[in-house]
């Protein structure tokens, strides 16, 4: 071997310094994790000083199973004094004795992934040798103006990339509940699992080289991840379950966050985790996308449509006893549905559709043969530009479809009870930036309901989605023949007090006589049949759990309030884990032989959980946590378990069996946590029992660095 040849003795990837500069320090400091379009520093220690004139160093970066320069999965670049634009380069070097410090730059459109880095050293035409420098991860860079995911706000980047906890909004449109969720995208093994997800996709298994070469494209990555979060086509992360039997896995209500799900999926060799529903799918996708460097948030839409045939109409049926009937059609109105929005430039669309894009990993319909959805531009949805990819018609219908409610009897539809043009896509909500509150973002999805703009957009979208089908829609004939709003009375159902699980429910029927065309004045007689049913998350109902009939006489101009009592014993063992009840009433008007529908969805409030901390939180020091829970129910809660989770506070999860908690009794729990990361953290606590699954609480905790005064 030529004694004068340049030989590498050691390398310092300077991971702590680089990770800090690239906003990846939360993922750890031992491995190099950088973002594309931004330089990072290396130090190479050789056997002798580097001689610029005679020594040649070529860097080789490779990713994927078959790296090729043509595919963008292999890059070779020589050491130069200055950077060469938006290409792989090694430049701005300094020489200090045998130490060479060099700045490496990755282009802002580079393939993301796990890379190996090597150098080849030579002198002139003579001997050359290759040395491995190690590995590094390359991620999207929302801090870089040249990256397709660039987000020009440090405040928004803190929220949508760096925040490792958040909230899912659940319940129903008039009673929105906050559900804390631990994203945990910076836990040290999560980045490995995210790339494992990409490597188990059908696209990768079918053509690994082609798949890796497309990983420079955020739109492509979004579609792959959307398909891989569910397991309908592949060994995706989560198996959905919208029944009530979760005995072979974990109830969707009992997850606190994404980390346990992702770790279980990886540890079992990519076997889907049981079970997920929409908020679990969206929570896990948010973790993966934030980890990969794409600004992402969770969005909840209340009364969200699943319109299978794309006719922008959903039909619901009731019988004369006010019972909501099941239907063989797959159309659904979810009480709420949760999806993701990712921020990006859409180079595949005309100008004007950049920004937030809808991604929905919940398996509802196929897209290009796989169960995935999006990215669909939120602006395209608002403007009714449903011809633009991807899956924009489906998302448009989720927030804009019309609802037609029919009276069904003797084997056929008899009457339209309501045609609602504004009952779908209500209170579309996401977490407010820098706050635990929710923010209503409905106006970014559609113009105000009933406004000329909203109706104009609806007609524009209808023409594109339905064409001639719209004109021949059968329900429009019936709609035109009768004014369903022209009724001699107005009925409303109100709650007389906060509905709590374990208590009798008190409602009031408010009835008011109003003039109408066929019966402008004079008294009317009403027979109102009421029915209560457990409401499932996807909008279906179970059998009746309570019925009542009320007879009313209403004089012209008269208003009546009629009390209704739904006893706890009627619903005690009848509700699903969601604790939702639909109370329906159908009033038959004797004088007109017409029917009036009144509805009320009730979300039962679970018992309250209290969490307090004593003293100051500091990395490595004991932090005393006090958890208090009172069983306010009239019955005991059996098989109570408690699970604690919180990135930076707890490694993994802490679980406790609490046994049975008698009615009216309080349990007090004290324990010590040892925070291991500084900054804003969130402790999530879930108490679950056979009777109530989702007793949840959280505590925001600010952790000081070790030794900070």
Residue 479: its H or E element? helix 474-481
- Cα-Cα-Cα-Cα torsion 325, 331, 335, 336, nearest 10 degrees, comes to 170
Residue 644: its H or E element? strand 637-645
CA 389, distance to chain mean position in Å, is 20
Q: Is-catalytic flag, 436?
A: no
Cα separation, 332 vs 346, whole angstroms = 31
Number of alpha carbons in the 13 Å side-chain half-sphere of residue 264: 18
The encoded tokens of residue 14 equal: 């300077």
Q: Where are the alpha helices (DSSP H) in 585-636?
A: none
> Of 162, 186, 183, 177, which is closest to residue 28 (Cα–Cα)?
186
Backbone region of residue 310 per phi and psi (left: phi > 0; alpha: psi in -120 to 50; beta: other values): left
Cα diameter, the chain: 112
Cα separation, 379 vs 355, whole angstroms = 8
Instruction: Tell me whether the omega of the peptide bond preceding residue 390 falls within 30 degrees of 0, making it cis.
Output: yes
Choose, from 55, 148, 164, 360, the residue flagged as catalytic: 360
Cα separation, 474 vs 397, whole angstroms = 19
Q: Is-catalytic flag, 194?
A: no
Residue 575 in 3-state DSSP?
coil
| DSSP structure string for 489-522 | EEEEEEESS--BTTS-EEEEEEEEE---SS--SS
> Of 258, 302, 301, which is closest to residue 280 (Cα–Cα)?
258
Report the DSSP beta bridge partners of residue 95: 100
Neighbours of 169 (CB within 10 A): 23
Choose, from 23, 337, 438, 537, the residue flagged as catalytic: 337
Cα separation, 386 vs 349, whole angstroms = 12
> Of 140, 105, 111, which is closest to residue 344 (Cα–Cα)?
140
Number of alpha carbons in the 13 Å side-chain half-sphere of residue 532: 25
| DSSP structure string for 259-310 | HHHHHHHHHTTSPPEEEE-HHHHHHHHHHHHHHHT--EEEEEEEEEEE-TT-
Choose, from 222, 278, 531, 640, the residue flagged as catalytic: 278
Phi, psi of 291 (to 5 degrees): -60, -40
Would you report the helix, strand and coil content of the chain in percent, each value rounded to 5? 20, 40, 40
> Of 290, 339, 519, 313, which is closest to residue 403 (Cα–Cα)?
313
Q: Is-catalytic flag, 337?
A: yes
Cα separation, 413 vs 123, whole angstroms = 88
**Beta strands in 152-288, from DSSP E residues, in sequence order:** 165-172, 175-182, 238-240, 273-276
Contacts 24+ apart (CB under 8 A), 250-255: 250/274, 250/275, 251/275, 251/577, 251/688, 251/693, 252/276, 252/277, 252/279, 252/280, 253/577, 253/578, 253/688, 253/693, 253/694, 254/643, 254/686, 254/688, 254/693, 254/694, 255/280, 255/283
Residues tagged active-site: 278, 337, 360
């Amino acid at each position: 071997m030529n004694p004068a040849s340049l030989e590498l003795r050691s390398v310092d990837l300077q991971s702590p310094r680089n990770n800090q500069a690239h906003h990846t320090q939360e993922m750890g400091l031992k491995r190099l994790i950088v973002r594309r379009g931004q330089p990072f520093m290396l130090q190479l220690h050789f056997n002798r000083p580097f001689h610029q004139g005679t020594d040649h160093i070529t860097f080789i970066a490779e990713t994927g199973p078959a790296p090729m320069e043509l595919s963008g999965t292999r890059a070779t670049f020589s050491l130069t004094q200055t950077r060469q634009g938006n290409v792989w380069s090694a430049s701005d070097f300094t020489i200090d004795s045998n130490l060479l410090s060099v700045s490496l730059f990755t282009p802002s459109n580079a393939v993301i992934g796990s890379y190996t880095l090597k150098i080849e050293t030579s002198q002139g035409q003579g001997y050359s040798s290759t040395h491995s420098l190690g590995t590094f991860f390359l991620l999207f860079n929302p801090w870089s103006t040249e990256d397709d995911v660039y987000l020009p706000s440090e405040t928004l980047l803190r929220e949508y990339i760096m925040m490792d906890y958040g909230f899912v909004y659940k319940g129903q449109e008039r009673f929105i509940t906050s559900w804390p969720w631990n994203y945990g995208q910076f836990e040290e093994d999560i980045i490995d699992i995210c790339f494992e997800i990409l490597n188990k996709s059908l696209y990768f298994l079918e053509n690994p080289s082609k798949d890796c070469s497309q990983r420079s494209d955020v739109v492509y990555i979004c579609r792959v991840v959307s398909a891989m979060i569910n397991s309908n086509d592949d060994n995706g992360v989560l198996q959905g379950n919208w029944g009530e039997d979760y005995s072979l896995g974990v109830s969707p209500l009992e997850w606190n966050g994404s980390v346990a799900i992702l770790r279980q999926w990886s540890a079992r060799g990519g076997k889907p985790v049981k079970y997920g529903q929409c908020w679990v799918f969206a929570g896990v996708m948010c973790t993966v996308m934030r980890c990969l460097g794409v600004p992402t948030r969770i969005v909840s839409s209340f009364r969200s449509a699943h319109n299978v045939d794309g006719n922008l109409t959903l039909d619901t049926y009731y019988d004369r006893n006010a019972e909501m009937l099941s239907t063989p059609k797959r159309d659904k109105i979810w009480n709420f549905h949760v999806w993701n929005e990712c921020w990006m430039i859409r180079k595949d669309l005309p100008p004007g559709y950049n920004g937030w894009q809808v991604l929905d990993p919940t398996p509802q319909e196929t897209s290009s043969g796989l169960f995935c959805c999006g990215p669909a531009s939120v602006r395209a949805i608002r403007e009714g530009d449903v011809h633009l990819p991807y899956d924009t018609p489906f998302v448009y219908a989720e927030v804009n479809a019309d609802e037609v409610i029919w009276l069904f009897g003797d084997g056929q539809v008899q009457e339209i009870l309501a045609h609602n043009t504004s009952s779908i896509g209500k209170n579309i909500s996401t977490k407010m930036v820098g706050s635990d509150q929710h923010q209503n973002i409905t106006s970014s999805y559609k113009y105000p309901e009933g406004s000329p703009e909203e109706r104009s957009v609806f007609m524009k979208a209808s023409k594109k989605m339905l064409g001639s089908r719209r004109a021949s829609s059968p329900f429009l004939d019936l709609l035109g023949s009768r004014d369903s709003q022209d009724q001699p009375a107005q009925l409303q159902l109100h709650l007389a007090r906060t509905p709590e699980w374990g208590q009798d429910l008190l409602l009031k029927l408010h009835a008011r006589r109003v003039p109408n065309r066929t019966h402008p004045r004079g008294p009317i007689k009403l027979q109102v049949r009421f029915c209560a049913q457990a409401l499932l998350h996807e909008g279906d109902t179970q059998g009746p759990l309570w019925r009542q009939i009320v007879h009313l006489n209403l004089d012209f101009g008269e208003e009546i309030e009629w009390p209704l009592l739904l006893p706890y014993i009627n619903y005690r063992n009848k509700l699903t884990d969601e604790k939702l009840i639909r109370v329906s009433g159908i009033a038959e008007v004797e004088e007109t032989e017409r029917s009036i529908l009144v509805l009320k969805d009730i979300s039962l409030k679970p018992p309250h959980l209290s969490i307090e901390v004593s003293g100051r939180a500091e990395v490595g020091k004991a932090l005393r946590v006090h958890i208090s829970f009172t069983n306010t129910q009239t019955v005991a809660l059996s098989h109570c378990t408690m699970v604690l989770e919180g990135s930076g506070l707890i490694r993994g999860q802490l679980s406790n069996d609490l046994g049975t908690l008698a009615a009216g009794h309080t349990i007090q729990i004290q324990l010590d946590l040892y925070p291991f990361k500084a900054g804003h953290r969130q402790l999530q606590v879930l108490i679950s029992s056979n009777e109530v699954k989702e007793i949840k609480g959280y505590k925001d905790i600010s952790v000081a660095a070790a030794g900070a005064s």
